[in-house]
């Protein structure tokens, strides 16, 4: 019996390792080709390695322009998501009313739908309202799914906060702002930071919704897509892709470490 369990456990570990390799080896190849000496093809093995493409990428103004737009869009979309997502989570978790579950479903729906559906819907809406496509239409498009990320983190943490904390605060004479500042925010702060980091990461590398909501603007993922279609210097595209991977990965790891001990927040056991 123990030998069968050991074999099953070993098989699961091998299958998990194979799955992880299948997912991550292509990403590691991006890092390899970012330092290859070959400019026009993906030859394997690479004929040599160099760091010259880092300097070339650094001196490309189109890369900096696309990077700046991506950071702006992600930062503003994240700020909008933090406000709206937190308010929605507070309303859903803190009260009972007719249509509560339906509203919760509608909030979550944008991230459940395929990105192309969201993109087409937003483009149609902007066209009907005669809103010119600009950085702000991209931000509104990104905010639709960033709100969901913040909402999911916040509502899970709100449900662990004891309602007696708010009642005690109000009984002691605190106003709404003081109650939020001293009782609620310390309990949900890490969840909001984690949700904001995840929202920033999702917005920074979003390409499908951006394609439908952008005008002539190019975010970094859109720049990469066009460079793959009409390549000028392939290693530069790989350097940019490497940066996107790192910028996306770090907030996700930070969000994981911030929320993994979320069951030990103040008031969770009450």
Of the CATH numbers 3.90.180.10, 3.40.220.10, 3.40.50.2300, 1.10.3720.10, which one belongs to the domain with range 61-264?
Answer: 1.10.3720.10
pLDDT surpassing 50 at residue 269: no
pLDDT surpassing 80 at residue 116: yes
Higher pLDDT, 248 or 131: 131
pLDDT at 91: 78
Give dist(CA 87, CA 234) in Å, integer.
Answer: 45
| pLDDT (average), residues 67-96 | 84
pLDDT digits (tens, 9 = 90+) for 139-188: 888 888 888 888 888 887 777 766 667 667 776 777 667 777 777 777 77
Query: In the beta sheet, which residues pair with residue 49?
Result: 36
Nearest to 235 by CA among 8, 50, 11, 107: 50
Angle between helices 61-94 and 100-112 (to 10 degrees): 160
Report how far apart, in Å, the C-alpha atoms of 105 and of each of 76, 151, 158, 195 are.
24, 11, 17, 18
- Range from 37-41, 242-246, 252-256 carrying the lowest mean pLDDT: 37-41
Nearest to 143 by CA among 216, 73, 77, 209: 77
pLDDT digits (tens, 9 = 90+) for 221-239: 888 877 776 666 677 778 8
pLDDT at 264: 41
Calculate ∠ Cα 45-49-53, nearest 5°: 120
pLDDT digits (tens, 9 = 90+) for 20-41: 888 777 777 777 777 776 666 6
Tell me what percent of the residues of the chain surpass a pLDDT of 70.
79
Nearest to 146 by CA among 103, 90, 86, 202: 202
Mean per-residue pLDDT of the chain = 76
Structural domain boundaries of the chain?
61-264
Are 67 and 223 a contacting pair, CB within 8 Å? no
Query: In the beta sheet, which residues pair with residue 36?
Result: 49
Number of residues that this document lists for the chain: 270
Angle between helices 135-158 and 115-128 (to 10 degrees): 130
pLDDT at 76: 92
pLDDT at 265: 39
Give dist(CA 224, CA 57) in Å, integer.
Answer: 12
Nearest to 232 by CA among 154, 203, 240: 240
- Range from 122-126, 182-186, 204-208, 237-241 carrying the lowest mean pLDDT: 182-186
| pLDDT (average), residues 203-207 | 83
pLDDT digits (tens, 9 = 90+) for 53-73: 777 778 888 888 888 888 888
pLDDT band at 270 (very low <50, low <70, confident <90, very high): very low
Residues in Cβ contact with 116 at an 8 Å cutoff, skipping those fewer than 6 apart:
208, 212
């Amino acid at each position: 019996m123990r030998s069968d369990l050991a074999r099953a456990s070993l098989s699961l570990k091998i299958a998990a390792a194979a799955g992880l390799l299948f997912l991550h080896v292509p990403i590691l190849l991006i890092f390899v080709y970012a330092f290859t000496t070959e400019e026009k093809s993906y030859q394997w093995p690479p004929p040599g390695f160099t760091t010259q493409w880092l300097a070339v990428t650094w001196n490309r103004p189109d890369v900096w322009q696309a990077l700046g737009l991506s950071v702006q869009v992600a930062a503003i979309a994240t700020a909008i998501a933090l406000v709206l997502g937190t308010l929605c989570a507070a309303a859903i978790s803190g009260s009972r009313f007719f249509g509560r579950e339906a509203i919760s479903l509608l909030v979550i729906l944008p991230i459940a739908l395929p990105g192309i559906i969201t993109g087409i819907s937003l483009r149609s809406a902007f066209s009907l309202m005669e809103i010119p496509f600009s950085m702000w239409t991209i931000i509104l498009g990104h905010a639709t799914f960033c709100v969901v990320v913040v909402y999911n983190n916040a509502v899970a943490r709100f449900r662990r906060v004891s309602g007696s904390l708010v009642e005690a605060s109000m009984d002691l004479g605190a106003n709404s702002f003081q109650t939020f500042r001293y009782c609620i925010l310390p309990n949900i702060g890490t969840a909001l930071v984690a949700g904001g980091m995840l929202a920033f990461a999702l917005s920074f590398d979003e390409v499908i919704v951006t394609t439908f909501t952008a005008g002539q603007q190019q975010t970094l993922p859109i720049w990469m897509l066009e460079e793959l279609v009409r390549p000028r210097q392939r290693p530069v595209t790989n350097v940019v892709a490497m940066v996107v991977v790192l910028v996306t990965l770090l907030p996700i790891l930070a969000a994981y470490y911030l929320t993994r001990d979320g069951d030990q927040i103040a008031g969770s056991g009450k």
